Structure 1
Amino acid sequence: MAIYVAINHKTSYTYDRLINLSPHVFRLRPAPHCRTPIQAYSLRIRPEQHFINWQQDPFGNYQARVVFPERTRELAIEVDLVADMTPINPFDFFVDESAEAFPFVYSPQEAKELQPYLEIAESGPQLTQWLHGVDRTEKPIVDFLVGLNQQLYRDIAYTVRLDPGVQSCEETLEKALGSCRDSGWLLVQILRHLGLAARFVSGYLVQLTADLEALDGPSGPTADFTDLHAWAEVYVPGAGWIGLDPTSGLFAGEGHIPLAGTPSPISAAPVTGYTDQCEVTFHFDNSVQRIFEDPRVTKPYTQEQWQAIETLGQQVDAELTANDVRLTMGGEPTFVSIDDMEAAEWNSSADGPHKRALAHVLIRRLQKVFGAGGILHFGQGKWYPGERLPRWKLAAFWRTDGVAMWRDPALFAQEALDALDEHHDSYQETIERAAAFIKHLAAQLG
C-alpha cells in the first residue's frame, strides 16, 4: 500500500520598512535519518537576490545558509516535498544484548561520543519529584520507553503556543501544559536524568484520516493534517535513535518527518537569523494533499474503477464465449482475526473453534446471496503434501435455474452456534444418526 502526499509549507515575514537581513540558516530539509521516503523536495526563498549554500551542521542535519546582499521589505520561504506514507513499524529494530533491559550502561566509546546528548541542563524540584515516580526496576527497554512516554503524555496536556522558545521543564510540569516543543524538551531531560542519551527533534507531522472508524479507541483526525512538530529521540545500542512523541504518547512513525535532531532546541529551530530593528507581520501556512493512493482493503476501488474493471471483464467473457473457451475460476482469500490474531488457528493450524464457527457464518451468508435453495456440504477439502490430514471444506451447491434443492434451511446443522457458545445444545447429533439419515436418503432416492 502506498500513499504519496504533497506537503506545502509557507512562512513569510513582512517588515514595515526596508531592512537588512543577517545571514540566515534554514533547517527545513528532511534530515538524513528520516525514515519516510522523500520523493521530491524544493525550497524557494524571497528576496530572489540571495546566495545559498547547502551544508550539514555538526550533528549531520541539512541546513541552508543564505546571504542577502540587499535590503528588503519581505522574507518568504516556501517548502514543497512529496513523501511516501507507506506505514513504518516503529518497533522494527534489534537491541544489543547489553541494552535489552533498563537500566543499562553505555560502553566507554559510546558514552564519549554521546556526551552532548547526556548533558543535564535542568534539575528543578518539579522535575526531581516527577523522576522520583519513575519505576527504575529492571524491565525490557522497549517496555520501559513505552511506559515512560505514555506517562508523560498523560501528565502534560497539549496546547498551541505561538511565542518563540521552549518552556523550562519546571514551568511545563507546574502548569501540566505545554506545546510539542515543551513536552519534547521535557522528555529529553527526563531521559538524560535516567542515564539515556536523548536529543530534541523538530520536523513535520503528517496525520491522515483513517479509511475506517476504529472499533476501539479514537479514530484519529477527521481531515488530513500537517504542521511543524517536535519530539524526542533516545539512543539505544543496536537500535540507534528511536523517536518518542510525548504529545501523542506514541513512538514516531511514517508521519514524523525529522528536519533536525540536536542536543538542544535552539540548534533545531527551523529558521535562525537577525534583522534591523523594525515592526514585522508574521504569517505561516501548512497543507497536505494526497496525490497518489494504491487501492487497498480498507479503501478499495472507486465506482468508476469498478465500472472499468467490469466492462473489461464483460469484453473478455464475450471473447471467450465467441471462441467456445470454457473456464472456471477459484480463489483462496486469507482471513485473520481482529480479536485473537495471535491464535494458532489464524496462523498455523488448519482448523480451530472460532475459525470454523466464523466460516459457518460466512458460508451461510454467501449461500443466501448466491445460492438460495441450495445445499451445504461440510467435508474433506484439499490435502497438502506433508500434512497428516486434509483441510476442511465448506461448500454450497445450487441450481442455476433457480429450482430449490433444499426447501427448509432450518434443518441444516447449527454447528456454528455450538462452536461460539459452549452452553448451546441445539446441535447434538451423532455419527450413528448421520449414518441412519444417509441410508434413509439413499433409499428414498432409489
Structure 2
Amino acid sequence: MAVFNIIHITKYKYNLPIKESINEIRLFPHNFENQDVLQYQLSITQNPNVSYTNDYHGNRVGNFNTLEAHNEMTIESRMLVRVNHSLKIPEIDETKAKDLNLHNDIYLLRLCSPESIEKQEEINSILKEIDYENKSIIALAFDCSQYIYNNFTYTKGITNIETTVDEILGHRKGVCQDFAHVLLQLLRTAGIPSRYVSGYICPNESGLRGEGATHAWVEIYTPKQGWLGIDPTNNIWTMDNHVKLSVGMNFNDCTPVKGTFKGISKQTLSVFVSIGYEDGRHFEEINDVELQKNSVEFELQLNHAEQQQQ
C-alpha cells in the first residue's frame, strides 16, 4: 500500500489575447477496488464554474468556460491518493479469447474492436509469432507486452498526441501512450476487451520508464478477475505506484484537458507534475508538450494578427 500527494498543473500561454475558452477536463482520480481518493482540490484561472458529469466509460468529466479575454490559463489539480494494487499479478486463469461470451455486452464488444490501420498485417504477424490462438488471455496479454518492450525503443520527442499506430509501427520508437496504443491493437485483434488507461507512475527508485510523469497503460478484461492493468512501457502488471485517472478506447477518450477558444494566437502548453510521499520524499517534473501543428492558412492569419499588434 502507498499514499501519494500529487499536484498536476497544466498551463496554457497565448502570445495574443484569446476569449470564450471552452474546456473539458479529465483530471479526477478513480475510486476503485485498489485505489482510494482521500482528498481532491481543483483550481482554475479566473475561478470559473465547473459542471460535472460521468462519460460513457465512467470517468468524471468537468466542463467550464472562460469568456473574458486572457493570455494564459492554469489548471491545478491536487490529490491525495492511496493505492493498494500490492503487485497484483493475475491469478492462474486458462480462459482464452475464444471462450469469451460477449454477445450481450455492447461495452466489451466495443473494446474488442481494433482500429482500421494500413499495417494490420504486421499486427497479425506479431500475433502469429506469439502463437496467440493457443494462449490464455493473461498469458497472451503479457507476451504482447513483452514483445513491445523488447522490440520498441523508449524515446522521447519523436511522437506526439497525433501519432498513429501505423507511424509507431514504422519507426518502432515512442513513449508510454504509443506503446499502449500498439498493445491495444494487438489485444483487440486477438479478441480481448482492452482499454487505454491514463494516470501517473510514481517514482520508487526502481528505474521504471516514465516514472514521475503522466503515464499510460492498458487494462484487459477477464471473466474471472475483471479488469487487470498491464504496463507495456515497463512490461509489468500495475503496481502500487500506478495511479489511475481515466479509461477509454484510446488517448482521445482520456485527454486530461481539451478545448477550443476564439481568437488568433500562438499557444504553448506545459505540464508540471509533483509527487510527494509519506516519508517526506518529493519528486517534480515539467514537460513542454508538442501541440498539433497549425495549418498554413492559420499561420498566415497569425502573422497578420501579430503585425497588427506591433
TM-score interval w.r.t. the shorter chain? 0.7 to 0.9
User: Which of 103, 107, 126 is the matching residue for 1:113?
Assistant: 107
Q: Distance in 2 between matches of 1:62 and 1:162?
A: 31
Q: Distance in 2 between matches of 1:106 and 1:166?
A: 33
Contact 1:232–1:243 under 8 Å retained in 2:
yes
Q: Distance in 1 between matches of 2:2 and 2:248?
A: 30
Q: Distance in 1 between matches of 2:40 and 2:258?
A: 21
Partner of 1:18: 17
Partner of 2:179: 183
Partner of 1:380: none
SS of 2:239 mapped into structure 1: coil
Q: Distance in 2 between matches of 1:253 and 1:157?
A: 22
Partner of 2:57: 59
SS of 2:202 mapped into structure 1: strand
Cα distance change on mapping 1:160 and 1:194 into 2, 3 Å: same
CA-CA distance at 1:163 after TM superposition: 6.1
Which residue identity does 2:155 align to in structure 1? Answer: T
Is 1:283 matched with 2:283? no
User: Which of 81, 84, 87 is the matching residue for 2:82?
Assistant: 84
Which residue identity does 2:3 align to in structure 1? Answer: Y
SS of 1:20 mapped into structure 2: strand
CA-CA distance at 1:60 after TM superposition: 0.5
Cα distance change on mapping 1:233 and 1:12 into 2, 3 Å: same
Q: Deviations over 1:116-172 (max 9, x none)?
A: 211221342433332331212534433332222112111111122386424222221
CA-CA distance at 1:61 after TM superposition: 0.4
Contact 1:103–1:136 under 8 Å retained in 2:
no
User: Which of 225, 241, 259 is the matching residue for 1:273?
Assistant: 259
Cα distance change on mapping 1:161 and 1:111 into 2, 3 Å: farther
Q: Structure 1 residues 102-111 or 38-47, which shifts more?
A: 102-111
The structure with the greater share of residues assigned to strand is 2
Cα distance change on mapping 1:238 and 1:8 into 2, 3 Å: same
User: Which of 127, 134, 142 is the matching residue for 1:131?
Assistant: 127
Instruction: Indicate the structure (1 or 2) with the bigger Cα radius of gyration.
Output: 1
Contact 1:225–1:288 under 8 Å retained in 2:
no
Partner of 2:40: 41
Q: TM (normalized to structure 1)?
A: 0.57
Contact 1:52–1:66 under 8 Å retained in 2:
yes
Partner of 2:249: 263
Which residue identity does 1:6 align to in structure 2? Answer: N
Q: Deviations over 1:253-276 (max 9, x none)?
A: 222222111113211111110123
Which residue identity does 2:248 align to in structure 1? Answer: T
Q: Distance in 2 between matches of 1:115 and 1:139?
A: 20
Contact 1:51–1:68 under 8 Å retained in 2:
no
Which residue identity does 2:230 align to in structure 1? Answer: L
Which residue identity does 1:73 align to in structure 2? Answer: N
State the number of aligned residues: 277
CA-CA distance at 1:239 after TM superposition: 1.3
Q: Distance in 1 between matches of 2:158 and 2:9?
A: 16
State the percentage of identical aligned residues. 24
Structure-to-structure mapping, 1:263-342, within 5 angstroms:
263-275=249-261, 276-292=263-279
Which residue identity does 2:188 align to in structure 1? Answer: R
Q: Distance in 2 between matches of 1:29 and 1:94?
A: 33
User: Which of 140, 143, 146 is the matching residue for 2:139?
Assistant: 143
Which residue identity does 1:154 align to in structure 2? Answer: N
Cα distance change on mapping 1:253 and 1:119 into 2, 3 Å: same
Cα distance change on mapping 1:197 and 1:254 into 2, 3 Å: same
Q: Structure 1 residues 284-293 or 254-263, which shifts more?
A: 284-293
SS of 1:64 mapped into structure 2: strand
SS of 2:217 mapped into structure 1: strand
User: Which of 202, 214, 224 is the matching residue for 1:238?
Assistant: 224
Q: Deviations over 1:258-312 (max 9, x none)?
A: 211111321111111012320123222112122348xxxxxxxxxxxxxxxxxxx
CA-CA distance at 1:85 after TM superposition: 4.6
Cα distance change on mapping 1:221 and 1:186 into 2, 3 Å: closer
Cα distance change on mapping 1:37 and 1:161 into 2, 3 Å: farther
CA-CA distance at 1:247 after TM superposition: 0.4
Q: Distance in 2 between matches of 1:199 and 1:33?
A: 16
Contact 1:126–1:170 under 8 Å retained in 2:
no
Cα distance change on mapping 1:137 and 1:193 into 2, 3 Å: closer
Contact 1:89–1:253 under 8 Å retained in 2:
yes
Cα distance change on mapping 1:3 and 1:112 into 2, 3 Å: closer
**Larger relative contact order (C-alpha < 8 A, sep ≥ 6)?**
2
SS of 2:247 mapped into structure 1: strand
What is the RMSD computed on CA atoms of the aligned residues? Answer: 2.5
Partner of 2:204: 208
CA-CA distance at 1:15 after TM superposition: 1.3
Contact 1:127–1:169 under 8 Å retained in 2:
no
Q: Deviations over 1:232-252 (max 9, x none)?
A: 111111211111111000111
Cα distance change on mapping 1:5 and 1:77 into 2, 3 Å: same
Q: Distance in 2 between matches of 1:77 and 1:66?
A: 11
